[in-house]
């Protein structure tokens, strides 16, 4: 799995590609924690998590996304931001997992299918 963070001037973007096997969960937790700090520091009201090319994510890696969303939910209203997940309907796991994340973090998660 590869995870890259960028700022296109308008949005902070996290792009995940490849296959997020269990061994990648530690690196993903670290990446998401850094991305969260960057998002809070930027005062942006929304960020993009582009997982269109993420072929698979283990339950350990899904847990990293849950922990990230939980951090967002714990922020004061003035600091809280939304996460727009860009997904790929070709990967059935994405729809199932993102729907669960949206239910867990209602009001924080938006899903955009390409």
Q: What is the pLDDT of residue 114?
A: 80
Q: What is the mean pLDDT of residues 71-90?
A: 97
Q: What is the pLDDT of residue 8?
A: 86
CATH 3.30.70.260 describes domain 2-113: no
Domain spans of the chain, in order of start: 2-113
Cα–Cα distances in Å, from 74 out to 45, 48, 61?
A: 15, 19, 20
Q: What is the pLDDT of residues 6-28, one digit of tens each?
A: 998 889 999 999 999 999 999 99
Is this structure's pTM higher than 0.85? yes
Strands of the sheet containing 12-20, edge to edge, are 2-7, 12-20, 46-57, 82-87, 109-113
Q: What is the pLDDT of residue 19?
A: 97
Q: What is the pLDDT of residues 20-53, one digit of tens each?
A: 999 999 999 999 999 999 999 998 899 999 999 9
Whether the CB-CB separation of 47 and 39 falls below 8 Å is answered with yes
What residues does 110 pair with on adjacent strands?
84
Q: What is the pLDDT of residue 43?
A: 83
Q: What is the mean pLDDT of residues 49-72?
A: 98
């Amino acid at each position: 799995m590869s995870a890259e963070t960028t700022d296109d001037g308008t949005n902070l973007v996290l792009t995940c590609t490849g296959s997020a096997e269990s061994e990648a969960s530690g690196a993903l937790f670290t990446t998401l924690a850094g991305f969260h700090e960057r998002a809070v520091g930027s005062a942006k009201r929304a960020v993009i998590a582009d997982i269109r090319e993420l072929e698979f994510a283990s339950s350990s890696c899904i847990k990293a996304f849950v922990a990230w969303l939980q951090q967002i939910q714990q922020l004061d209203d003035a600091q809280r931001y939304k996460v727009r997940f860009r997904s790929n309907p070709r990967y059935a796991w994405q729809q199932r997992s993102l729907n669960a994340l949206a239910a867990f973090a209602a009001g924080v998660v938006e899903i955009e299918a390409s």
